[in-house]
Amino acid sequence: MYLKKVPETDESRIEALQAAIDREELNGDEEIILSLEEMQELRTFVTSYEGVGFVMQQAEKDFAQSQTDYIKLFDTAQMYVSHFIQVLQLTTIRDEIKLESLSDYGFESGKEMELPDLSTEEAVIYWGEKMIQGEAKRMSRGGYPLYNPTIAKVKVHYELFTDIVHSTKIYRQNVERQQTALQDLQHKAESMIRDIWSRVEEKYASMPIQELSEIYQAYKINYHYQKDVR
């Protein structure tokens, strides 16, 4: 049996709707199937559909780029925070910084520190903040700054990373919001296409098959053969 196949992509849906607009603009009074109000609604809808599709594509590009940037900035921030912690550990081993000062950095006071696991976003943010705050506290009491890397260098890469974390979340939310909007338009487009095709079939039901085929092509009505399984 032959069944109508509604377009399955945004591009093909817009193409079918635009084809209906183009055909209706050429039809005479006796051939039109859409009212002036329906034509205006259809034109407005196609414009909106195309606009949301474009915004969606840009949102996906922005999100993809933010993910690429995220990986690079995570690796760099992780490295700088890790190196600073290792330098801090070495200074305590050499007794250049007292173990009691480790509490400034979020470690247990008076005990030898262990290197924390920095394999996650949360850990890098947590320990990066602890190092920045701890170095500021210790230096406020007259302590000398640690070097290679300095806390200023750590802070630069820490803030670049936290910025991309925030940006990536915003881009992800934007993609999700556009997906919802696009899905609503997709459902409406399919409904409009079915309605237009049904009207065309009803209006031209008595037309000879050859002429009917031309009409169907003009409105982008697509049939496909499906085997009748019983």
Judged against a pLDDT cut of 70, whether residue 21 lies above it is answered with: yes
Give residue 102's pLDDT: 94
CB 230 within 8 A of CB 3: no
Domain boundaries, the chain: 2-225
- Identify the pLDDT of residue 228: 56
Tell me the average pLDDT of the chain: 94
Reduced 3-state DSSP string for the chain: CEEECCCCCHHHHHHHHHHHHHHHHHCCCCCCCCCHHHHHHHHHHHHHHHHHHHHHHHHHHHHHHHHHHHHHHHHHHHHHHHHHHHHHHHHHHCCCCCHHHHHHHCCCCCCCCCCCCCCCHHHHHHHHHHHHHHHHHHHHCCCCCCCCCCHHHHHHHHHHHHHHHHHHHHHHHHHHHHHHHHHHHHHHHHHHHHHHHHHHHHHCCCCCHHHHHHHHHHCCCCEEECCCCC
Phi, psi angle pair for 224, to nearest 5°: -135, 150
pLDDT for 149-194, tens place per residue?
Answer: 999 999 999 999 999 999 999 999 999 999 999 999 999 999 999 9
Q: Are 118 and 124 in contact (CB under 8 A)?
A: yes
The reported pLDDT for the residue numbered 115 is 93
First-to-last C-alpha distance (Å) of the chain: 12
pLDDT band at 112 (very low <50, low <70, confident <90, very high): confident
Taking only the tens place, the pLDDT of each residue in 192-211 is 999 999 999 999 999 998 89
Of 74 and 224, the structure prediction assigns the larger pLDDT to 74
Q: Supply the pLDDT for residue 222.
A: 86
Predicted confidence at residue 194, as pLDDT, reads 96
Using pLDDT thresholds of 50, 70 and 90, give the confidence band for residue 1: very low
The average pLDDT across 5-21 equals 96
Percent of the chain beyond pLDDT 90? Answer: 86
Q: What is the mean pLDDT of residues 20-26?
A: 96
pTM over 0.75: yes
pLDDT at res. 224: 65
What was the pLDDT predicted at 77? 98
What mean pLDDT comes out for the span 27-33? 92
- Higher model confidence: residue 117 or residue 228? 117
